[in-house]
């Protein structure tokens, strides 16, 4: 394992993150604050408790997940697409490193960034509502697993994309609906039965449900199923990336 | 010593394209400077990309330092530094960060003083903290060279290093190349310009249409280049050469209507005067004289046009 190379990629990407930290943090923090004002206070005050949790508190895990998923995909896809676009990707591709070391470097940096943002949003939510965390360690695990698996998805997207339009289109057309319909703002059993069934095909549901369980000890689907869903999702991403590297897909002629 | 780079029967076909490399075999000796000379689209970049692992092999084998570039890519790539043809750099990164990244990618421990010494050798030290977007084209070219040298490679590829480069940078670059050669680094450079190959290379390979047309010591090529031909057209044909010319390098041509004399332009005496006076004393009447120099350019153009027929 070429540890110096992984470290070099990781710290180079993190340096980029820190240089643009203000803008990368400002926008998720502001939008989260807005969600709290609109959903938490304005609408939430008219809502009943969900599973014994006030609505303002109920949306905290969902909001964090929403942001972490979107950020992971955005960071990881940009992280690999940008060097591809500039042509600087020639260097990692001609360096004595394995494809998976490249993945660890880039995906690791993207994951770190989105976890940091997730934690900042959690900290911000403490300012608005009295949040309690039933299983703090498992909460962190879920956060990490989600960040990693969605960063892998972003990495795939970044290698696949041939233009900035494509890079933006996929998150907008596919990811946003999945994530919004994943139960960030509601419990699945608030939906009509048909939609409850449809929802079960949405991977975001399992992640958000599991994450919420770590906070409130109640969940839409069982925690084991949630973990299984993350596992399957990650495995698919790994398989796709392996295939991409094996065939040189959009990287090597 | 076995060649440091050994390319055997290499074929490359791009998807949807013809053959960019067509059965190329080259052996590059350790410590030499090889110039790959060829027109646009000849396959120079493709050959380099394959050796560096950027492009996949269609058929054939490539080994570097005795290791296969596909199976043992970690060993082969660690030996190589590549300066690509295009200026590809991250616009917002600083010179120092960019060069440090390269060193890390190639598995070397961070070493600030080494990187600074490379930067100073390339007159970049004062630009150490400048962002790429603030640099001129020539400076970017230097950064690419610094990146390639950041991990102390044994082999350096320079893909058209002098494109868009001024006289001063070219001189700097040749100084760096000479110094690397003294340290035993093998250097492969591509160029469109014959003078450049002449200036710096030990051997020259001419490539066109994906085929190596010639690979030869530069000095031998230069010898061919150094000889000139004198063509003497005669008033009347001669059947045999007079005995007085028996130890002179002169041949009959055109059924005796002309004589061809080879001489070395760099020699102290070309022997032209004595040849002409011998001819006069033998009573041979001249009609016309022509001299002709076969330059590397001619050899090159000859090879390339022959190939294109
Ligand atoms: N990615 C690619 N896809 C398809 N064809 C390619 C690709 N890259 C190069 N080629 C083709 O392969 C041939 C050789 O190209 P190559 O870049 O190796 O030439 P070169 O000798 O480096 O030329 P130049 O002096 O212009 O840099 C050309 O015909 C080119 O069109
Ligand atoms: Mg080229």
pLDDT per residue over B167-178, tens digit each? 888 888 899 999
Given this model, what pLDDT does residue B168 score? 84
Q: Which of these, A126, A229, A116, A217, lies nearest to A182 by C-alpha position?
A: A229
Residue B205 near residue B36 (C-beta atoms within 8 A): yes
Q: How far is A212 from chain B (nearest CA, A)?
A: 39
Enumerate residues 6+ apart whose C-beta is below 8 A from B195. Answer: none
Region for B238 from its dihedrals, namely left if φ exceeds 0, alpha if ψ lies in -120 to 50, beta otherwise: beta
Give me the sheet containing B250-253, strands edge to edge: B250-253, B258-264, B227-234, B286-293
How is residue B300 written in tokens? 């090159």
How do residues B56-66 score in pLDDT, each as one tens digit?
999 999 999 99
Confidence (pTM):
0.86
Given this model, what pLDDT does residue B10 score? 97
Q: What is the rounded distance in angstroms from the CA atom of residue B20 to the CA atom of residue B211?
A: 9
How do residues B190-249 score in pLDDT, each as one tens digit?
988 877 888 889 999 989 889 998 898 988 877 766 677 889 999 888 888 888 888 888
B298 pLDDT more than 80 = no
Given this model, what pLDDT does residue B252 score? 87
Q: What is the rounded distance in angstroms from the CA atom of residue B236 to the CA atom of residue A100?
A: 80
Q: Give the pLDDT of chain A (253 residues) as one tens digit per residue.
A: 889 999 999 999 999 888 888 887 788 888 888 888 887 777 777 777 777 888 888 889 998 998 999 999 999 999 999 999 999 999 999 999 999 999 999 999 999 999 999 999 999 888 888 889 999 999 999 999 999 999 999 999 999 999 999 999 988 888 888 888 888 888 888 888 888 888 888 888 888 999 999 999 888 788 899 899 889 999 999 999 999 988 888 888 8
The fraction of chain B above a pLDDT of 90, given in percent, is: 56
Q: What is the rounded distance in angstroms from the CA atom of residue B220 to the CA atom of residue A167?
A: 55
Token pair 């051997």: residue: B203
Q: Where are the domains of chain B?
A: 5-223, 227-293
Contact B107 A88 (CB under 8 A): no
Mean pLDDT of B91-107: 95
**Residues found in chain A:** 253
How is residue A205 written in tokens? 């549901």
Given this model, what pLDDT does residue A33 score? 83
Compute φ and ψ for B40, nearest 5 degrees: -55, 140
Architecture of domain B227-293: 2-Layer Sandwich (3.30)
Enumerate residues 6+ apart whose C-beta is below 8 A from A239. Answer: none
Given this model, what pLDDT does residue B307 score? 62
Architecture of domain B5-223: 3-Layer(aba) Sandwich (3.40)
DSSP state of B79: T
Distances (CA, A) of A252 to A47, A175, A245, B32: 55, 28, 9, 29
How is residue A54 written in tokens? 């006030």
Given this model, what pLDDT does residue A194 score? 86
Given this model, what pLDDT does residue B297 score? 65
Residue A194 near residue A216 (C-beta atoms within 8 A): no
Q: Which of these, B216, B189, B183, lies nearest to B31 by C-alpha position?
A: B183
Contact B167/A at CB under 8 A: no
Question: By a Cβ cutoff of 8 Å, what residues of chain A touch chain B?
Answer: 2, 4-5, 7-9, 12, 15-16, 19, 82-83, 86-88, 90-98, 248, 252-253
What residue's CA is closest to ligand 1, atom 2?
B14
Contact B15 A2 (CB under 8 A): no
Q: Which residue of A has its CA nearest to B14?
A: A253
Chain B residues closer than 8 Å to A82 by CB: 90
Q: What is the rounded distance in angstroms from the CA atom of residue A2 to the CA atom of residue B151?
A: 14
Mean pLDDT of B43-51: 96
Q: Where are the domains of chain A?
A: 3-247
Helix, strand counts (H, E) of chain B: 10, 14
Cβ of B44 closer than 6 Å to ligand 1, yes or no, is: yes
Mutational test site, ligand 1, from B7, B14, B82, B304, max ligand atoms within 8 Å of CB: B14
Q: A26, exposed or middle or buried, with CB in 10 Å at 0-12, 13-18, 19+? A: exposed
How do residues B142-169 score in pLDDT, each as one tens digit?
999 999 999 999 999 999 988 878 888 8
ipTM score assigned to the predicted complex: 0.88
Given this model, what pLDDT does residue B294 score? 64
Q: Which atom of ligand 1 is nearest to the CA of B207?
A: 21
Given this model, what pLDDT does residue B299 score? 67
How is residue B179 written in tokens? 């110094």
Distances (CA, A) of A135 to A63, A217, B90: 18, 8, 42
């Amino acid at each position: 394992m070429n540890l110096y190379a992984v470290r070099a990629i990781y710290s180079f990407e993190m340096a980029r993150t820190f240089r643009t930290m203000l803008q990368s943090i400002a926008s998720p923090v502001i939008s989260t604050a807005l969600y709290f004002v609109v959903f938490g206070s304005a609408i939430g005050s008219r809502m009943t408790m969900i599973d014994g949790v006030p609505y303002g508190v109920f949306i905290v895990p969902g909001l964090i997940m929403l942001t972490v998923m979107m950020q992971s995909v955005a960071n990881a896809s940009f992280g690999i697409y940008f060097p591809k676009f500039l042509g600087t990707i020639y260097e990692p591709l001609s360096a004595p490193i394995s494809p998976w070391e490249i993945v660890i470097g880039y995906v690791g940096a993207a994951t770190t960034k989105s976890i940091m943002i997730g934690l900042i949003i959690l900290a911000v939510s403490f300012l608005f509502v009295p949040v309690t965390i039933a299983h703090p360690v498992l909460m962190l695990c879920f956060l990490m697993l989600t960040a990693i698996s969605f960063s892998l998805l972003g990495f795939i997207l970044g290698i696949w994309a041939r233009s900035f339009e494509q890079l933006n289109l996929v998150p907008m057309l596919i990811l946003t609906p999945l994530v919004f319909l994943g139960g960030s703002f509601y419990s699945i059993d608030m939906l009509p039965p048909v939609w409850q069934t449809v929802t079960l095909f949405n991977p975001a549901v399992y992640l958000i449900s599991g994450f919420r369980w770590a906070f409130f000890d109640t969940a839409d689907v069982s925690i084991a199923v949630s973990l299984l869903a993350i596992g399957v999702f990650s495995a698919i991403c790994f398989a796709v990336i392996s295939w991409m590297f094996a065939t040189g897909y959009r990287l090597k002629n | 010593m076995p060649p440091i780079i050994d390319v055997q029967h290499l074929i490359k076909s791009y998807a949807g394209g013809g053959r960019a490399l067509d059965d190329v075999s080259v052996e590059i000796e350790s410590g030499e400077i090889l110039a790959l000379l060829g027109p646009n689209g000849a396959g120079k970049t493709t050959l380099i990309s394959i050796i560096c692992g950027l492009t996949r092999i269609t058929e054939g084998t490539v080994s570097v330092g005795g290791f296969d570039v596909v199976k043992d890519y970690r060993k082969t790539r660690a030996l190589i530094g590549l300066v690509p043809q295009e200026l590809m750099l991250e616009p917002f990164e600083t010179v120092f960060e960019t060069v440090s990244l390269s060193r890390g990618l190639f598995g070397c421990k961070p070493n600030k003083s080494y990187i600074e010494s490379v930067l100073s050798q390339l007159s970049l030290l004062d630009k150490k903290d400048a962002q790429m977007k603030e640099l001129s084209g020539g400076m970017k070219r230097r950064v690419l060279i610094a990146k390639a040298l950041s991990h102390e490679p044994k082999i350096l590829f320079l893909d058209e290093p002098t494109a868009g480069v001024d006289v001063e940078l070219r001189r700097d670059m040749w100084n760096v190349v000479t110094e690397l050669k003294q340290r035993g680094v093998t250097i492969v450079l591509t160029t469109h310009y014959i003078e450049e190959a002449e200036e710096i290379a030990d051997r020259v390979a001419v490539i066109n249409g994906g085929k190596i047309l010639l690979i030869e010591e530069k000095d031998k090529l230069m010898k061919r280049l150094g000889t000139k031909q004198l063509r003497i057209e005669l008033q009347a044909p001669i059947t045999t050469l007079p005995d007085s010319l028996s130890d002179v390098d002169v041949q009959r041509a055109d059924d005796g209507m002309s004589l061809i004399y080879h001489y070395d332009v760099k020699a102290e005496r070309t022997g032209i005067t004595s040849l002409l006076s011998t001819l006069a004393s033998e009573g041979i009447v001249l009609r016309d004289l022509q001299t002709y120099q076969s330059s590397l350019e001619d050899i090159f153009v000859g090879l390339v046009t022959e190939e294109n027929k």
